[in-house]
Structure 1
Amino acid sequence: MTPERRPLLGASSDLSRTTYHSERSSLSEHSTVVPDQDDLLNTFTRAQSCCILAGLWSAVFLGALDGTVVATLLAPIGSDFKKSNQASYIGTSYLLSVCCFTPLYGRLSDVMGRKGAMLLALSLFGSGTILCGLAPSMEALIAARALAGMGGGGVMTVSSIVVTDFIPLNQRGLYQGMANILFGLGAGIGGPLGGWINDKFGWKSAFFFQAPVLLFSFTLVAWKVNIKLPSEVQNLPLSEKFRRIDFLGSITLVGTVGSLLLGFSLKTTEELPWSHPIVYGLFTATFVFAALFVFTETRLAPYPVMPLRLICRRTPLAVAMSNLFGSMAAFSVLYNIPLYFSAVHLYSSADSGLHLLPHSVAISTGSVFAGWVMRRTGKLYTLNLFSALSALVATALLVFWNRSTPTFHLWFDIVPQGFGMASVITCTLIAMIAGVEKHDMAVATGITYLFRTTGQVLGVSLSGATLQAVLLQKLRQRIQGPGAMELIYEIQHSTSIIPTLPPDLKEAAISSYADALRVVFICQAAWNFLAFLCCIPIQESLLPGSPHHAQNNED
């Protein structure tokens, strides 16, 4: 398919009046170009821009840090409350809440303003985090994590929207890459930091220590994030602004996403059969809510929370689906690579996790590289396809891993996955912003994050369900006799038992995990292949400020 090539700021596009002109650097002391009145809305000095970015990116850093800190604390929390079987719900409740509420912030940022939406997100995230440290029971902790998730999704979404408001389009990929570096840094140090705090002060302190960073971010956002909206929105009375909130669409969207993800999560976590009333009841509710959502968005809502006209267009649809499938593969890799080393190679938890270090470095490098290339060339189509292909090749290499695979491959075969997927995420966000009109940018950003976070939960849930199904089948084939079912149950739920087994049972367990994980790796490759296919229809756009764009203007 031949990509459509058109300048982003063509004369016929609504983007011709956007604030993101190539001639204006967002970090310059003064704006040197004054095309029209709207372009003067959000012009900041270098110091102001740095303060704004510090407030936004400290929240992004904390959101990533919080995720890995909590993942590290699941075992001690479960032991403390004597409810280890419910520990996985701590992460699931947060992710479900993030997925459900992320798309709402796109419209909220238009109604409440960027500052109001960001402060709401930080307030929900912060209050939920503090309540986690005060939780007297496992149920209260799970509810507090769900409250934190209501704000956690907004932190990432509104941060991207604010950067969209005052960073030139040709530089936005580079800034997104820098934000991803902080995200990767937070995710990288969260695990060790959470473990150290737990050992020294107890797991509850790991939630309280986040308060200073939260306060720092909240203060800077309240003080410096003074983003002005167009006058037709800015001057509306408060009652009219709230009339623009699509409450019915929001409720049905939350019902659709929540029922879908909760159904997959319960199927995996509780090992319920597909025929269980709760499982098929949730999937039935998904279709009902989805039908109501489509009806609401097309017939009832004057300002829909997710305009279906955007999803039906070529580039936004391709971006959404590539983010969905790419995130499914990426998070399946993150969760299953350590399991491979602990169950098949019998490495310790620390050594298994250490094999993700090159992958983490590649994620930061890929984001910055994509931003730098887009800034230099003004193009993203070829870069996006190359990046998606890199991720596909990496996951295909994992399929051929076995116990005799050279050490080099075990360390570095996943590097192209991290590099490629980070680059795809950066490129597709810019493609989404470039592919919609100015007044749809905030909502389109929210849609991107919705599909991305939904893919994360689906990737973990589906790969977990696949792993357990194949593993159970293989273990039943290889382990038989008295006490077989009890032993199989223990092997399924804890890899630490494998080294203690007799040689024949140990070999059966290792081989079963290897076979099951190979099927998971095949699924990851298939998801990355679908992500690559979805990248093909994305339109090529010449970013303003690039040499090619300048040459086209001269011609």
Structure 2
Amino acid sequence: MEPTTERPLPVQGDAAPAADAAHAAQATAGTGHPPVRLLFPALILVMLLAALDQTIVSTALPTIVGELGGLDRLSWVVTAYLLTSTIVVPLYGKLGDLFGRKIVLQAAIVVFLIGSALCGVAQDMMQLIVLRAVQGVGGGGLMVVTMAAIGDVIPPAQRGKYQGLFGGVFGLATVVGPLLGGFLVEHLSWRWIFYINLPLGAVALAVIGAVFRPRTAHVKHVIDYMGAAWLAGALTCLILFTSQGGTILPWTSPQLWLTLLLGCVSVAGFIHEEQHAVEPIMPLELFRHRTFVLSSLIGFIVGVSLFGSVTFLPLYLQVVKGSTPSGAGMQMLPMMGGVLVMSVITGRIISKIGKYRMFPIAGTALVGVAMVLLARLQIATPLNQMYIYMGLLGCGLGMVMQVLILAVQNAVEFRHMGVATSGATLFRSIGGSVGVAAFGAVFSHGLSTRLEKVLTPDVELPQPLTPDVIHHLPPVLHAQYLDAFAGALHSVYLAAACVVVLSFALAWLLQDIPLRKHQ
């Protein structure tokens, strides 16, 4: 027997009943309305927790390995969270549409907090990896349901300024995560990277429970379990392929290409299942929607650009400029500031003029220019000049990321808002995973090729080649290594610039659909 649960009413556009319009107006009567004034900071906090846990662990990994061992499984501390949080994104979107976003968001927060607490008491590397996967099951829901929740209480015409703040928080967390992780490890313990989530998450949970009042109605539901299984298999294979290719496994490995083949089979199975499911996880009709397809493709490329940049810029600062890990994090502030400021400004302008198409076009152009400038970085490039390049990159990203979510939410039917939001977010997450893996392969190949040309066969570089070890190389060898490093970095950002050109072309195809005044 199918249970009865809460679900947002399938209200759309100007045809909404007068009562619903009055309800939306009452719930969104500016930022001065107490529930919105309390709810929005709680949603921001939830978004911050989810985004931080994608990057905060990176600076603590050496310390964790020193205590728990398991150096050979080190990368899985990050990959386990990324894998599960990406897999569950479309599931949470669908569950939010079926059950109502309040209960689904509360459940995601609880799972995330349980996973965080258990990660903090892990006794060996395998335990930590498994528990990070549990934490990711909750973390994937935090990000997508918070963005969809804004759609429940804020009409599209006013949603831009709120979505802009979300974009700023995402950019802030991406850059500040490694810096905060390093601070906690240095002054407390690596376990506090996970414990710090508990009081913050508890506050957010309490506020959301008290003031979040989404519009709901009782409906029967059917969960597409087979679709979920096929989707999980497809995303697992894709992320394993991109994270292991060229690093854990060589590109010639049969095992690696078998993983990709299984992923393609899973995609075919998912498409077949969604054609016949009563309540599909990701309705295929969304892929016939121009705005959704374009926003997802552009978001994928933006994810590639964002995570690829955040991965290699701190590396350049530590290896070439001699910065400490925490110092490199501080030097990334121009990029974070660009994302934060431009996300907020863009959101407010969109809410005022009611149009958004120009911003992805301008933003992708700015990202492309920044990538070309970063491809020209030299060993002697002044830091002030690099800050300008990073600021331009941040401004470009800030003009694109959350605008795409707004465009999708404004274009689709209200009953598909959650799953459409999660779909657009999913493609950006996959883009980040692919970007880090692909750019990593380009960088490693470029560095090794250049070193082979300049080093004689009798020269052997010390291992592991950390930034500190590089700084203590003999002067001639040090100069040769930095030249090769800078050249490899040029290849990465030139490749990124070429990819961004595609997103710029796609942005011109977006349609400026007038923002709805209510749900």
Q: Is TM more than 0.5 here? A: yes
Give the unaligned 5+ runs of structure 2. 1-10
Aligned-pair CA distance for 1:459 = 0.9
Aligned-pair CA distance for 1:79 = 1.4
Matched, 1:247 2:229: no
Alignment of 1:451-466 (within 5 A): 451-466=427-442
User: How far apart, in 2, do the equivalents of 1:62 and 1:437 lie?
Assistant: 29
Aligned-pair CA distance for 1:200 = 3.3
Q: Is the 8 A contact 1:370 1:383 kept in 2?
A: yes
How many pairs are equivalent?
Answer: 503
One-letter amino acid of the structure 2 residue matched with residue 449 of structure 1 = T
Say which SS state the counterpart of residue 481 (structure 1) adopts: coil
Q: Is the 8 A contact 2:54 2:82 kept in 1?
A: no
Q: Is the 8 A contact 1:370 1:426 kept in 2?
A: no
User: How far apart, in 2, do the equivalents of 1:458 and 1:346 lie?
Assistant: 28
Equivalent residue number for residue 5 of structure 1: none
Aligned-pair CA distance for 1:220 = 1.8
Q: Equivalent of 2:128, from 141, 144, 161?
A: 141
Equivalent residue number for residue 424 of structure 1: 400
Q: Equivalent of 2:510, from 538, 541, 544?
A: 538
Q: Is the 8 A contact 2:51 2:170 kept in 1?
A: yes
Equivalent residue number for residue 5 of structure 2: none
Q: Equivalent of 2:152, from 162, 165, 170?
A: 165
Aligned-pair CA distance for 1:279 = 0.7
Q: Equivalent of 1:276, from 247, 253, 259?
A: 253
Q: Deviations over 1:188-212 (max 9, x none)?
A: 5544443333233321133223211
Q: Equivalent of 2:218, from 228, 235, 249?
A: 235
Aligned-pair CA distance for 1:512 = 1.4
Say which SS state the counterpart of residue 56 (structure 2) adopts: helix
Say which SS state the counterpart of residue 228 (structure 1) adopts: coil
Sort the Cα spacing of 1:69 and 1:274 in 2 relative to 1 into closer, same or farther, 3 A. closer
Q: Deviations over 1:102-132 (max 9, x none)?
A: 1111110022211111012112211111110
Q: Is the 8 A contact 1:17 1:39 kept in 2?
A: no
User: How far apart, in 2, do the equivalents of 1:465 and 1:175 lie?
Assistant: 37
Sort the Cα spacing of 1:303 and 1:41 in 2 relative to 1 into closer, same or farther, 3 A. farther
Alignment of 1:65-464 (within 5 A): 65-187=52-174, 189-229=176-216, 234-236=217-219, 240-241=220-221, 243=222, 245-270=223-248, 272-298=249-275, 300-464=276-440
Q: Is the 8 A contact 1:325 1:531 kept in 2?
A: yes
User: How far apart, in 1, do the equivalents of 2:123 and 2:326 lie?
Assistant: 30
Sort the Cα spacing of 1:431 and 1:103 in 2 relative to 1 into closer, same or farther, 3 A. same
Q: Is the 8 A contact 1:255 1:286 kept in 2?
A: yes
Aligned-pair CA distance for 1:379 = 0.8
Per the normalisation by structure 2, the TM-score is 0.92
State the identity as a percent: 28
Say which SS state the counterpart of residue 302 (structure 1) adopts: coil
Q: Is the 8 A contact 2:181 2:193 kept in 1?
A: yes
Matched, 1:529 2:501: yes
Q: Is the 8 A contact 2:227 2:280 kept in 1?
A: yes
Q: Is the 8 A contact 1:170 1:545 kept in 2?
A: yes
Aligned-pair CA distance for 1:268 = 4.2
Aligned-pair CA distance for 1:296 = 0.9
Alignment of 1:47-66 (within 5 A): 47-66=34-53
User: How far apart, in 2, do the equivalents of 1:189 and 1:144 lie?
Assistant: 23
User: How far apart, in 2, do the equivalents of 1:499 and 1:140 lie?
Assistant: 35
One-letter amino acid of the structure 2 residue matched with residue 284 of structure 1 = L
User: How far apart, in 1, do the equivalents of 2:456 and 2:93 lie?
Assistant: 55
Per the normalisation by structure 1, the TM-score is 0.86
Aligned-pair CA distance for 1:425 = 1.1
Q: Equivalent of 1:499, from 455, 458, 471?
A: 471
Aligned-pair CA distance for 1:133 = 0.4
User: How far apart, in 2, do the equivalents of 1:297 and 1:489 lie?
Assistant: 49
Equivalent residue number for residue 29 of structure 1: none
Give the unaligned 5+ runs of structure 1. 1-12, 19-34, 547-555
User: How far apart, in 2, do the equivalents of 1:227 and 1:545 lie?
Assistant: 17
Say which SS state the counterpart of residue 267 (structure 2) adopts: helix
Equivalent residue number for residue 515 of structure 1: 487
Say which SS state the counterpart of residue 403 (structure 2) adopts: helix
